[in-house]
Structure 1
Amino acid sequence: MGYFVEVEPDVNLYVEDVNPEGRKTLVFIHGWPLSHEQFEYQFNILPSMGYRCVGIDWRGFGKSDRPWHGYTYNRLADDIRTVIDTLELDGVTLVGHSTGGAIAIRYVTRHNGHGVSQLVLVDAAAPVGFTEDTANSLLEQTLNDRPKMMQGVTDTFFFQSISKPFSDWFNQLGVRAASWSTAAVIHLLRDETLYEDMHNIHVPTLIIHGVHDKVIPFEQALELHQNIRNSQLVPFEFSGHGPFWEEREKFNQLLMEFSS
């Protein structure tokens, strides 16, 4: 089922909640500039294995409201807290991909792991996001030819070949976002870091990262693993930035094993 959760006056986030009676809840936080729909190949499988899957569209992305303000790690983490409290979730596995991984890290540190029993970081944009040069290039494209920018993101996203229909679908996930929120998160990824946060994570953490990632280099996964206590790193040898699709069977199995 899908519904909206108010996170502040006149700002509602879209939440997809599949199999609410599942024995274990996984909360998915998507990457920039996508939506919860990027996890289609998890939502198709994991509920049939007894898991509850909750996908949250950040403010400005997917089906959520598109305010002008609020695109900081603190505000985005606070939005997640409101959803978790509203749904009365506890003992969840929090799964964050790319920028969603960075938001998940800030959530766990800012809210002392409230409601979270395990953390999964998938090609997380942490402890840093974009370099200044990359961010400035993406900003210029976003403000002048956003569909072309999104096509460039798609072209560098995957290591394995994707079909033209899949590429078209993936592009549409990105261009559904508001242009101003797309740009604001580029600023976020350029200007905010998570060096202090990674030392203050106290829940078991699984780090998944594609060896061939051209968006967030694999070296950043090594840095996270070295600095997050009680973490394990699983390299995905046949993935770029999208192991949730490129090696989805392995990815889904790992999520189930880690969350059990």
Structure 2
Amino acid sequence: MPFVTTADGTDIFYKDWGGGQPVVFSHGWPLSGDAWDVEMKLAADNGFRAIAHDRRGQGRSSQTWHGHDMDTYAADLAAVVDALGLDDVILVGHSTGGGEVVRFAAQHGGGRVAKIVTVGAVPPIMVKSDSNPDGTPIEVFDGIRAGVMADRSQYFMDLSEQFFGINKGSGVSQGQREQFWRLGMQMSLKAAYDCIAAFSETNFTDDLLALDVPVLICQGDADQIVPIADAALKSIDLVKNGTLKVYPGAPHGIAGAYQVALDRDLLEFWRS
């Protein structure tokens, strides 16, 4: 299987499909690059080179004890981009992956990034604080940590209901829920726990302000995982060249009718 070894010896697994301008996908918590399979095929079928990696501690990458923070995640992505010699890159990140691609572009992009797409992404910052009074209280993230530690398997199965908006009538299949659970259970417990702080407490404001390429910011207005009012609706005001796309009634997880609509917009943006 293809791996890139980072400076600290971590093996990062990646998938590489098709040929053409590279589209690099970054997944959300607690998933892996497999979460992007439909979009990877869409890209490869339409003349793009589709690449998706598994974040350290997730999927088929090394289950390291260290490095579960956004700076390291962005550096790992840079190692993949460097190893594959990629240029003129289109970045696509969902949820935690949206934070990862924004930080990568700001700190490692160096003229190599052509466009960025975030989908239900965590920037600018999720957790509530004096400087972010509309954010999500830390107690919510403490509850996620407690659920992961007490019974990770059942917690992931329960979480899939809100993730895909099943409790709001999204009609997402049981198979989609079980795939979410399966990918989540491939993640190490250490990575699952530490990544909660990474996605909730990292401040991406300066990263968003630094972006100088076209940015498509996508999110469903029924997202129960990353509240749109504190995510996409704030991020669009921080980027220089941004387009906001709101999907009425869409959840956090990319599936069903939301996926069909999103994929249509992704392809149009990639081609533009």
Map of 1:59 onto structure 2? 56
- The 8 Å contact of residues 113 and 203 in structure 1, kept in 2 or not, is answered as no
Map of 1:120 onto structure 2? 117
Question: Which stretch of structure 1 is more off in the superposition, 61-70 or 153-162?
Answer: 153-162
Q: CA deviation at 1:5?
A: 0.5
Q: Distance in 1 between matches of 2:244 and 2:59?
A: 29
Map of 1:5 onto structure 2? 4
Q: CA deviation at 1:246?
A: 4.1
Q: Distance in 1 between matches of 2:182 and 2:69?
A: 24
Map of 2:193 onto structure 1? 183
Map of 1:215 onto structure 2? 225
Map of 2:213 onto structure 1? 203
Map of 2:150 onto structure 1? 144
Secondary structure at 2:237 match in 1: helix
- The 8 Å contact of residues 57 and 64 in structure 2, kept in 1 or not, is answered as yes
1:189-223 CA-partner distances (Å, limit 9, x unpaired):
33321122221111110001011100111112111
Q: Distance in 2 between matches of 1:110 and 1:126?
A: 15
Number of aligned positions between the proteins:
257
Identity of aligned residues (%): 28
1:220-259 CA-partner distances (Å, limit 9, x unpaired):
2111111111000011124110246542232222222212
Change in Cα spacing, 1:156 to 1:177, as seen in structure 2 (3 Å) is same
Q: Does 1:153 align with 2:164?
A: no
Q: Does 1:226 align with 2:237?
A: yes
- The 8 Å contact of residues 156 and 214 in structure 1, kept in 2 or not, is answered as yes
Map of 2:81 onto structure 1? 84
Change in Cα spacing, 1:233 to 1:244, as seen in structure 2 (3 Å) is farther
- Give the letter for the 1:152 counterpart: D
Change in Cα spacing, 1:244 to 1:204, as seen in structure 2 (3 Å) is farther
- The 8 Å contact of residues 141 and 149 in structure 1, kept in 2 or not, is answered as yes
Secondary structure at 2:31 match in 1: coil
Q: CA deviation at 1:169?
A: 1.6
Question: Which stretch of structure 1 is more off in the superposition, 93-102 or 159-168?
Answer: 159-168
Where structure 1 has 5 or more consecutive residues not aligned to the other structure, the ranges are: none
- TM-score w.r.t. length of structure 2: 0.90
Q: Distance in 1 between matches of 2:61 and 2:160?
A: 22
* Misfit runs of 4+, over 4 Å: none
Q: RMSD in angstroms over aligned alpha carbons?
A: 1.5
- Give the letter for the 1:128 counterpart: I
Q: Does 1:250 align with 2:249?
A: no
Map of 1:109 onto structure 2? 106
